[in-house]
Structure 1
Amino acid sequence: MAEQQRADDSPDEFYIFIRTLSGKILTVRVSLDDSVRELKVKLNAQDSSLTPDRIRLIYRYSQLQDDLPLRHYGITPNCFLHLISRRELSRAEPALTTAGKLLLYKGGSSRSDAGDNPRLFQGPHRVPVRAVGRSWSTFQKPCPTWHEPVVPPTCRAHLPGRGIFQCSITGLSFEVKSAVTITYRYATWTRHLSEADQETWMPAGPLFRIEVQPGVVRAVHLPHFICLAEGVNTSLCSVAHFKSGKMTLERPTRLIAFSAVLENPSFSLLGVLWRRLRSTLNSLPMHSLVLIFQQLSAASTTLHLYLIPDDNSVKQAIEKQEMNWNSKLIPKPSPFNPLFFGCVYKVTSTNFVVIMPEAHLPFCYKSPKEQQLFVEIYIREMAEEIGLLMTDIRNGTVVWRASLRSGDISLPAPVSKTFSGAAFMKKHKTELCSRMRQLSTILLHLRDANVINSDEEEEVQGQDTSHRRSRVLLELAEKKGLEAQEQLYQILRMKDPYLIADLEKSS
């Protein structure tokens, strides 16, 4: 199905796939100018039970807004979106599925006692999360008690009562018995896992340092990137605890897609490990990501292509590094087959490009604090469309395919027309106030860069509309000077490249 080609009768239309929680897959022909609402209408034409007002669509862990075009979300041919309907949700257990990686189930530990009044909690540094229950009603005003920064990148979550809560940035989830404050941050496997243990155990997800009052957390969901759909031996999975420099292992209570669940946990340094077996080293399937960044200050078109496990800590480290290199992310789909640690994958193109230092990428896990492996793709003359492929060198199987179009690339402007961040913000202030999205993530990056402090972040989040929040942020950056405005501009180029490209074209 992933080999479905662009619609034959229109070069501007292509197919995408919609997966429901029940596993049903629908094929829909769309164009980038279709709104999310129009996509829902097309789904309703295929299945009358999918009423547009009663379904939600998820792509790359974000809920799609009805009034925005598909272009805004970087929708690509053959990509998968996830659909959640009220009918499916009422039957679903509160387990975290592919579509549910940004979901927060509030109110109870099972569907029988799920809350009837779910709320949307957003806050400072503050992890964007969603509340889902039997009702679709949400309150858009930020909750100042969900998540506040301590010392970056440490985060503190104030959970207001009994329920299951998930951080959509880290993937951590907590089922709690009552209101509680939880502090957590990423740690580094290579710092705590001895060389001898690294011979036996393989990291299968991020490592976290978690601090919480004892006895309040009923269960913790620790993210992992092992593909369970391939029938792997789950008995090889363990949860590692590190205390006083020593590692102890515990079998998870249960293993579900993307998470290992540990009931009645004790907290220290926690993370998911997978036992290495010589016979299965290259046959353990992994969820993976392909990240492509364009270096905006480089000559012609220079891209960095990464192949990594689906680990948010690694992804965020790469994004931060590329932002420092003045790069922008070019959204493309993930591999359509599970990949395998220890295997090598070859990157090729349908057009002439220069790939350095070589076209081969080994698939492995590297700590977020280590330099991640990537290949550099140099394109002297950008064609209308360039095809990129990734194949398994063991058998020549294509595991990933994407089209790089001229509209994806930011062409270098003549020096006389190059806008500084300050000039760009001033010229497009009105449009940015109405069109700027992902404000919580933008504030997170600004905090990490020490551009704003917690009081200033509270001031922005405390505004009653998205328009006012955007305006206060822009005015705050303007008061701080040229460097702050340049930093905000670069963050916007990274997190919403389509918006920035559209505004720059209007210049």
Structure 2
Amino acid sequence: GFCGDPDDETCWFQCSGPGRYQCRVSGLVFDMTGGGDVFYRVVPWNRSLLGPHGKKPAGPLFDISCQQRSVARLHLPHCEVRSTGRCHFLSVAHLHDEGVEFIRPERITETHIVISITGFSAFGNVKDEDSPPDPVRALVLLFYRPPADPDVTSFLNVLLLPRNIVIRDLKRSRKKLSEDELFIDVPPHCKLHPDQVYTLSTSPENESVKVQPKEAEFDGEHYKDYFPSFQVTLKTLIRDIHLNLVEKSSSSCVWERDVHLLPAKMKTQLLSSEQLKEIRSSIIDRISGPNLKSLLDKLQLKGMMTEPESEEAGEMKSRHDKAQFIIDTTVRRKGDDASSEMIRFLCELDPYFSKDLGL
């Protein structure tokens, strides 16, 4: 479960007996000698404690406590590629009131570093500062900020991160920066070289799509403050985009995906809002009197027009004025949902007219 301040969330689990338990959120594994309540959360690294020892972060720092002291072993997720043979650069830092101690692993599996523990406080993977920049398992994560009506400009933030970050912590951090930002769920896995430079290209690639910066270095120690490596600015409404991440030195593609930017509901709303602006004049000029009356009835029935608004529209003699009043005064001013509903009603009332309008 989760407890504490939403801005500083703590995970916890309760077990009634010995066993091995894995957290599906953090990837941590606990070997328990008996029952207990374990609490843990991600906290920032204090790099000044690592520097004098020639160490740097190689994973999140977890503040862990267990009142019953029944955790015998801790398995911390790592992102190293074990086949490179470089895992001997890894150890675990234990930060406590007296300072920091470095624990040699009992063993290193493909995914975890295993250590025995007796005391508690903060634990996190570290590696030697002079360790070679071999590739690590990494993630390319996408966060999309959709357009704010009436502006059609949107932003796609691209984050290059080590695989052993805690994604729930990342999402919470991103949410603080922008409430409207959406996580785009695409396969994120790849291998990246720390300190290597990468470029991001897009398709379509034209003046309406801008990637900045032109290139970015992969920071393999990015474990708490999660900022984009690239930002793609989309100056028109784009449903789908192809992304291609290339290592600059070798020109080799390390990750590419076709990305669907808009959830189905949002696609409908945004397209409806834009469509209504584009076809407003055509509707006003060409909608028939009977269809206009039926549209008025449907809008009132659905509560999208108040009774005074409906009466005012009904008193208008000119079909042109009535259509303009309905679109401008009642629908466009009431947001995307109203626009979507109006277009749906038009399609139901006159499919041929709607098809001719491009609906």
TM-score of the pair, normalised by structure 1:
0.48
Aligned position for 1:227 = 81
Q: Does 1:285 align with 2:135?
A: yes
Q: Which amino acid in the other structure matches residue 290 of structure 1?
A: V
- The percent of aligned pairs where both chains have the same amino acid is 22
Partner of 2:355: none
Q: Which has the larger radius of gyration?
A: 2
Q: Do structure 1's residue 210 and structure 2's residue 60 form an aligned pair? A: no
Match of 1:316, SS state, is: helix
Amino acid at match of 1:294: Y
Q: For 1:333-372, what aligned pairs fall within 5 Å after superposition?
A: 333-336=187-190, 338-353=191-206, 354-365=209-220, 368-372=223-227
Describe the shift of the 1:150–1:316 C-alpha distance in structure 2 as closer, same or farther (beyond 3 A): closer
Aligned counterparts of 1:389 and 1:198: Cα–Cα separation in 2: 39
> In the alignment, is residue 160 of structure 1 matched against residue 16 of structure 2?
yes
The residue identity in structure 2 corresponding to 1:225 is: C
Alpha carbons of 1:176 and 1:249: their partners in 2 closer, same or farther (altered >3 Å)?
A: same
Q: CA deviation at 1:181?
A: 1.2
**Structure 2 match to 1:187:** 43
The 1:329–1:196 alpha-carbon spacing in structure 2 relative to 1, beyond 3 Å, is: closer
Change in Cα spacing, 1:395 to 1:408, as seen in structure 2 (3 Å) is farther
Return the offset for 1:218: 2.3
Taking the TM superposition and a 5 Å limit, the aligned residue runs for 1:418-429 are none
Q: Per chain length, whose mean CA-contact separation is higher, i.e. which structure has more relative contact order (CA < 8 Å, sep 6+)?
A: 2
Closer/same/farther in 2, CA of residues 380 and 199 from structure 1, 3 Å limit: farther
For 2:239 and 2:174, locate their aligned partners in 1 and report how far apart those are by CA, in whole Å.
Answer: 29
Which amino acid in the other structure matches residue 259 of structure 2?
L
CA distance, structure 1, for counterparts of residue 4 and residue 226 of structure 2: 26
The Cα of 1:321 is off from its aligned counterpart by: 1.8
Q: 5+ residue gaps in structure 2?
A: 277-301, 303-342, 346-359
The C-alpha deviation readout for 1:395-420, integer Å capped at 9, x for no partner, is 10100010124766844252999xxx
Whether 1:295 aligns to 2:148 is no
Q: Could you tell me how far apart the structure 2 residues matched to 1:330 and 1:155 are?
A: 24
Equivalent position of 2:123 in the other structure: 270
Among 148, 164, 177, the alignment partner of 2:33 is 177
Q: What is the SS of the residue equivalent to 2:174?
A: helix
3-state SS, counterpart of residue 225 of structure 1: coil
Residues 59, 221 of structure 2: 8 Å contact kept: no
Instruction: Map Cα deviations across residues 361-418 of structure 1 (whole Å, 9 max, x no partner).
Output: 211145554351332212334567532100100110100010124766844252999x
Greater mean alpha carbon deviation, residues 239-248 or residues 298-307: 298-307
Residue 182 of structure 2 corresponds to residue 328 of structure 1: yes
Opposite residue 293 of structure 1, the aligned amino acid is F
Gaps of 5+ in 1: 1-123, 126-148, 418-426, 428-504
1: CA distance between counterparts of 2:214 and 2:49?
Answer: 30
Instruction: For 1:123-162, list aligned pairs within 5 A.
Output: 124-125=1-2, 149-151=3-5, 152-162=8-18
Task: State the distance in 2 between where 1:304 and 1:216 align.
Answer: 42
Q: Is the 8 A contact 1:361 1:373 kept in 2?
A: no
Note closer, same or farther for the CA distance 1:155–1:330 as it changes in structure 2 (3 Å cut).
closer
AA of the residue aligned to 1:292: L
* 2:336 alignment partner in structure 1: none
In 1: Cα distance, 2:65 partner to 2:163 partner: 25
Residues 289 and 310 of structure 1 are in contact (CA less than 8 Å); yes or no, is this contact kept in structure 2? Answer: yes
Change (3 A) 1:305 1:181: same
Question: Are the structure 2 counterparts of residues 310 and 198 from structure 1 closer, same or farther at C-alpha, using a change threshold of 3 Å?
Answer: farther
Which secondary structure state, in structure 2, belongs to the residue aligned with residue 321 of structure 1? helix
Conservation of the 8 A alpha-carbon contact between 2:106 and 2:115: yes
Match of 2:273 in 1: 414
Alignment partner of 1:238 is 2:96: no
Aligned residue for 1:194, secondary structure, equals: helix
Q: Aligned partners of 2:4, 2:250: CA distance in 1, in Å?
A: 49
CA 1:265–1:166: 2 relative to 1, 3 Å: same
Asked if 2 retains the 8 angstrom alpha-carbon contact of 1:215 and 1:264, the reply is: no
Structure 1 contact 388–403 (Cα < 8 Å) conserved: yes
Q: 1:266 to 1:345 in 2, by over 3 A?
A: same
Pair 382,347 (structure 1): closer, same or farther in 2 beyond 3 Å = same
- Measured after TM superposition, the shift of residue 356 of structure 1 is 3.9
> How far apart are the structure 2 equivalents of 1:198 and 1:325?
39
Once the 2 structures are TM-superposed, how far is the Cα of residue 330 of structure 1 from its aligned partner? 1.6
How far off is 1:232 after superposition? 2.6
SS in 2 for 1:171: coil
**Does the 8 A contact of 1:206 with 1:224 survive in 2?**
no
What TM-score, normalized to structure 2?
0.66
Matches of 1:373 and 1:358, distance apart in 2? 10
RMSD: 3.1
Deviation at 1:315, TM superposition (A): 5.9
Aligned equivalents of 1:362, 1:315: Cα separation in 2? 24
Correspondence for 1:401: 256
Which letter maps to 1:167? C
In the superposition, relative to structure 1, how do residues 377 and 198 fare at CA in structure 2: closer, same or farther (>3 Å)? farther
Query: How many angstroms does 1:202 deviate by?
Result: 2.3
CA distance in 1, matches of 2:53, 2:219: 14
Count of aligned residue pairs for this structure pair: 268
Higher strand share: 2
